[in-house]
């Protein structure tokens, strides 16, 4: 082999090595970029809505979300947990939507700036074991049970046994809050509940095993649970019909809550609009709830309902007019179901005037 041929061969070998090293380096660079991209890639696609809900509302929303996906309208990641966790996640920006079985708590900082959109009318229902002979309970009896004043089933026409009251443990739970709001005017009213469960589904499981138990659930959940019995209230059985006409006194509203500054606001607005569509309404009705727009007449009945509950619990005369002692309660009721309506604004004005009149003698006495 000549010197020139040897040099050319050596150059070829060195060239091949250089190319191999360059390709290897490029491969490592590509892997590095891919690794960085995978680290930076969000776990959830930008258009996917994060919906955190309490269990009462999730049982209604589950099929709506499935149909939304099936219609290829968008993605919603539904996680049932608790009312307050959903609302706090929306406030913190870790969730786009909260499903809640209660309205906003006006003085709670974490709920300021959150919009509550009515989803459907449901009913708060007392439930017992299917073997319990009691079929009806009055508003006064429920009120007194919550305060620990009524403790024996014989006072309801049942056996001479202790009433074991069940409740949901998470603070400001949707079902518990809404029940206390109607019975006491305060959703965070202190009550006497000896047995607490992580959510309404676990509460129902205990009631099914406890012949002496009583707890509050929703019609949408309990109506599809053959292991529990729903009691009528004031002789009226909860149903979509008695919710829609207002004859069942403990009807309530389920909500979707979100913020205008949510980064996926456009996708959230699209889903909320879908919930009001005919397709979604048909799904809601299968869960024994009344789509919110289908019972708008209930908004005008809030004063009448407040007067009725007052009359049954506190002995205030019931009439078509709101009793003087209950303007604040009426304003609160309207605020829950129609926060921006003209009736609500009028009721709030009456409540403020009534409070001012009540405080006037105290001010005069002070001087």
Are the C-beta atoms of 213 and 206 separated by less than 8 Å?
yes
The average confidence (pLDDT) of the chain is 84
Q: What angle do CA 312, 348, 328 make, to 5 degrees?
A: 30
Structure tokens at 226: 């053959």
CA 83 to CA 87: how far, in whole Å? 6
Are the C-beta atoms of 334 and 299 separated by less than 8 Å?
yes
Count CA within 13 A, CB hemisphere, residue 127: 33
- Convert the pLDDT of each residue in 44-81 to its tens digit: 567 899 999 999 999 999 999 999 999 999 999 999 99
Helices and strands counted in the chain (H then E): 13, 12
Q: How confident is the model at residue 106 (pLDDT cuts 50, 70, 90)?
A: confident
CA 280 to CA 276: how far, in whole Å? 6
CA 310 to CA 90: how far, in whole Å? 35
The H-assigned helical ranges of 147-233 are 174-184, 200-207, 219-222
Whether the per-residue pLDDT at 334 is higher than 80: the answer is no
Whether the per-residue pLDDT at 348 is higher than 80: the answer is no
pLDDT at 47: 86
CA 268 to CA 35: how far, in whole Å? 31
Mean pLDDT of 291-320: 87
pLDDT at 264: 96
Mean pLDDT of 330-338: 59
Mean pLDDT of 289-301: 96
CA 285 to CA 292: how far, in whole Å? 11
Assess if CATH 3.40.190.290 describes domain 49-355: yes
SS3 50: strand
């Amino acid at each position: 082999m000549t010197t020139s041929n040897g040099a050319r061969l050596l150059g070829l070998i060195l060239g091949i090595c250089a190319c191999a090293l360059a390709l290897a380096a490029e491969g490592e660079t590509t892997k590095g970029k891919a690794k960085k991209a995978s680290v930076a890639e969000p776990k959830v696609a930008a258009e996917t809505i994060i919906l955190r809900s309490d269990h009462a509302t999730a049982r209604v929303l589950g099929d709506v979300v499935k149909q939304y996906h099936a219609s290829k309208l968008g993605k919603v990641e539904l996680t049932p947990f608790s009312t307050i966790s959903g609302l706090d996640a929306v406030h913190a920006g870790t969730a786009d939507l909260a499903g809640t079985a209660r309205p906003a708590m006006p003085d709670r900082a974490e709920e300021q700036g959150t919009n509550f959109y009515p989803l459907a009318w449901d009913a708060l229902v007392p439930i017992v074991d299917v073997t319990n002979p009691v079929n009806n309970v009055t508003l006064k009896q429920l009120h007194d049970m919550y305060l620990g004043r009524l403790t024996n089933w014989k006072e309801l026409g049942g056996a001479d046994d202790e009433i074991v009251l069940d409740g949901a443990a998470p603070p400001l739970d949707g079902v518990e809050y809404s029940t206390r709001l109607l019975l006491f005017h305060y959703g965070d009213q202190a009550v006497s509940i000896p047995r607490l469960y992580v959510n309404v589904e676990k509460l129902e499981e205990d009631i099914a095993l406890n012949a002496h138990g009583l707890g509050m659930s929703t019609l949408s959940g309990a109506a599809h649970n053959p292991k529990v019995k729903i009691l009528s209230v004031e002789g009226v059985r909860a149903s979509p019909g008695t919710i829609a006409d207002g004859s069942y006194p403990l009807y309530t509203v389920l909500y979707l809550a979100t913020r205008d500054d949510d980064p996926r606001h456009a996708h959230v607005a699209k889903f909320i609009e879908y919930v009001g569509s005919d397709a979604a309404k048909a799904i809601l009705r299968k869960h024994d709830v009344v789509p919110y727009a289908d019972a708008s007449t209930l908004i005008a009945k809030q004063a009448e309902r407040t007067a009725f509950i007052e009359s049954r619990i506190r002995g205030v005369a019931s009439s078509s007019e709101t009793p003087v002692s209950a303007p604040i309660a009426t304003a609160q009721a309207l605020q829950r179901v129609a926060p921006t309506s003209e009736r609500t604004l009028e009721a709030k004005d009456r409540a403020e005037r009534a409070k001012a009149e009540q405080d006037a003698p105290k001010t005069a006495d002070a001087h």
